[in-house]
Amino acid sequence: MAQRMKFNKTAFLAMLFTSLILNGFVSKVWSDDEVDSVTGAKSSDFIKTRLYIGGVGISSTIDQWGDFNGTNGFVHSSGVSTNAELDLIPSITRQFGWGALAGYREGPWAAEISFWRSDHTASYISGGVTSTTPASLQAINIDFKRYLFTQLPTQPFISVGLSFPWLWVRNFSYILDPSQTTILQTNDETISGLGFNLGAGLEIYLDNDFSLIGGAYQRWTGFNQINGAIKIGENNLYWDGNPSDTGSIEGDGLNFYVGATFGIE
């Protein structure tokens, strides 16, 4: 519960801070030039309108100091005489991966959708023994950007958006007998949820057709569904066999990316 309250407070403050910036403070500082009534771009903006695609190299993880520390597990059972499911919540290493994106920009604003994937090693510690297995962290992101110093070819930006991440882990979901002492079946698991992104970066435009881009964003995520042998939602998740301790799995992560974009219009 304390972890969940921390997630909610942090996400709320981040959203409030970003809203204040996007709704006027920054735009007033750099709004001296004449603005086009159609596109909203300043007459002196280096980029006025742009439809683009791109690719990035990424470095991503889920921080180990939260619920993803490799020592927790969710147990689901529908009754004392039925089999139970145990889903391990691993820790994962930071690894490199790739991403693809597409977006549209008008003046200082841009909307962007992207897909990220990185492959990791997942670990779980039990009884002093560490088990490892392959894992894959993937996410679909929808972000909105506000560029600064738009008269120049080198433009910093801030971004805010939503993320739909999922973590696939090999063989970390188990079907147990009713006494929960014997493993009857082993399965892969997918842990998924909804996240909030807050980021900043820098884009260097050579012209409307090509740019170099790099940045970082913090992702706060509440993972509320596990697909193992069966599909378990938040209302049926409880920690380590304790039905009174329910809720989503909190997982934060600082992510980095660098790449290029290509204008297609």
Examine residue 43 and state whether it is found in any structural domain, yes or no. Answer: no
Q: Does residue 126 lie in a domain region?
A: yes
Q: Which pLDDT score is estimated for 6?
A: 44
Say which residue the tokens 């090999």 belong to: 170
Higher pLDDT, residue 111 or 17: 111
Whole-number Cα distances in Å, 93 to 68, 96, 100, 152, 182: 11, 10, 22, 38, 29
Per-residue confidence (pLDDT) for residue 31, from 0 to 100: 45
Q: Look at residue 1 and tell me whether its pLDDT is greater than 60.
A: no
Contacts of 132 (CB under 8 A, 6+ apart): 121, 122, 123
What pLDDT, on the 0 to 100 scale, is given for residue 222?
A: 87
- Choose between 124 and 45: higher pLDDT: 124
> How far apart, in whole angstroms, are the C-alpha atoms of residue 165 and residue 138?
6
**Maximum C-alpha span of the chain:** 73
Q: Give the chain's domain count.
A: 1
Mean pLDDT (whole number) for 12-30: 47
Whole-Å CA distances, 175 to 46, 124, 243, 259 = 59, 17, 18, 43
Q: Domain holding 231: CATH number? A: 2.40.160.20
Inform me whether the pLDDT recorded for 121 exceeds 60.
yes
Distance between start and end Cα atoms, the chain: 49
Domain enclosing residue 18, as ranges: 2-26+50-263
* Within a domain: 38: no
Per-residue confidence band for 212, with pLDDT thresholds at 50, 70 and 90: very high
Q: Assess if residue 32 is contained within a domain.
A: no
